[in-house]
Amino acid sequence: MNAVVFHGPRTLSIEETKEPRAGPGELVVATKVALTCGTDLKMYNRGHPYAKPPIVMGHEFAGIVSQVGEKVTGFKEGMRVVAANSAPCGECYYCQHSQENLCDFLSENILGFSHSGAYADYVKIPSRIVARNTIELEKSIDFKLAACVEPLACALHGFEIADMKAGQNVVILGAGPIGLLYIQLAKMYGAGSIITVARSRKKLSLAKRLGSNNTIVANERQIEEVKRLTDGRGADLVIEAVGLPQTWETAFQITRKGGKTMFFGGCPAGTSVRVEAYRVHYEEMTLLGSFHHTPRAVRRALGMITSGDVDVSSLITHDLPLSRTVDAFAMMSEGRAMKVALFP
């Protein structure tokens, strides 16, 4: 079969590899579509702490079960499925304390990072993911939309932590796929107003279409602009969906007294940001982090995609054959594409 193999930063090759065989507890899925994601682009450009090259990339996908391993229950050949990119162990301290996204053994088999991913004709699903994070799809749902379950599950998990109240004003920094999902969640749960700040005017117009009441082009006047739109106070909730130290600092600066700042976008290990300690104490600031997803968030996300409550199709801007993965990454780097659907 053909597979897109990552050998190290900026080194990808399309290779003829052996088709996987489903061992006990495992499934093999014929990939119908795999999506690109900001994390894939980061990994392609500079590697990733969880990536173990050489490795077949791809962690957002959907397809048809082609082999069922021994002892697998609930799945059969020909079933349309989606699987999350990882699954918690169910036994460690964090899994036992309802924080499965922080499972100590999460990095062991993440598809596309430490376990062969979905940029291939077939992908083998490890037993843990089969048992906890693989779901049969309804006939009506398009593979491409179902494949968006992972980013939406991550956004949902963060949104639950942020615990936005109806009527609150929300600022979202970043209008990539995650920012655009947060706009829709904030709208769905009754945000008073939604302000999106991003560099690209094209993305901001999409933000507006998906429910952002106001949009601001990111520049040196952005803090002033947010203050102006929030009666000088700053926002009740700010969600950072960029992953840069300077946007983390901006997010804190535009959060009102007593408000919440949610840091969704990850920065590389060793990064520090400055927050004013005076404000954290005297202004009762709440700083929140969010990472990854839980099996519950994965199921909720798929429900929202299936019902059409969340528009994920707008996040996918291009369709390309899998053989053009490098072109897809180039288009994303140049801001021409957001998510690209790759077809084996």
DSSP string, 73-134: -S--TT-EEEE-S----SSSHHHHTT-GGG-TTGGGG-BTTTB--SSBSEEEEPHHHHHHHE
Residue with Cβ nearer Zn ion (40 or 236): 40
Contact 86, 110 (CB under 8 A): yes
Q: Which is nearer to Zn ion, 146 or 195 (CB)?
A: 146
- For Zn ion, give the closer residue by CB, 256 or 292: 292
Strands 55-56 and 2-8 turn out to be antiparallel
Q: How far apart are CA 320 and CA 145, in angstroms?
A: 15
Least CB distance to Zn ion at residue 147 (A): 10
Residue 151 Cβ, how far from Zn ion at the closest point, in Å? 5
Smallest separation, CB 62 to Zn ion (Å) = 13
What is the nearest approach in angstroms of Zn ion to the Cβ of residue 35? 8
The Cα–Cα gap between 259 and 83 comes to 36
Q: Which residues contact 44 (CB under 8 A, 6 or more apart)?
A: 6, 9, 10, 12, 57, 329
Closer to Zn ion by Cβ: residue 25 or 192: 25
CB of 61 to Zn ion, least distance (A): 10
Q: Which is nearer to Zn ion, 38 or 259 (CB)?
A: 38
> 64 or 89: whose CB is closer to Zn ion?
89
- H helix intervals, 141-284: 143-146, 149-162, 177-188, 201-209, 222-229, 245-253, 277-282
CB 126 within 8 A of CB 120: no
Q: How far is the CB of 38 from Zn ion (least distance, A)?
A: 7
In the complex, what is the shortest distance from the CB of residue 192 to Zn ion, in angstroms, rounded to a whole number? 30
Contacts of 333 (CB under 8 A, 6+ apart): 41, 45
> For residues 227 and 299, which CB has a smaller minimum distance to Zn ion in the complex?
299
* 285: exposed, middle or buried (Cβ count in 10 Å: 0-12, 13-18, 19+): buried
Peptide linkage before 126 cis (omega within 30 of 0): no
Name the residues that contact Zn ion, by CB under 5 A. 37, 39, 88-89, 92, 95, 103
d(C-alpha 105, C-alpha 110), whole Å: 10
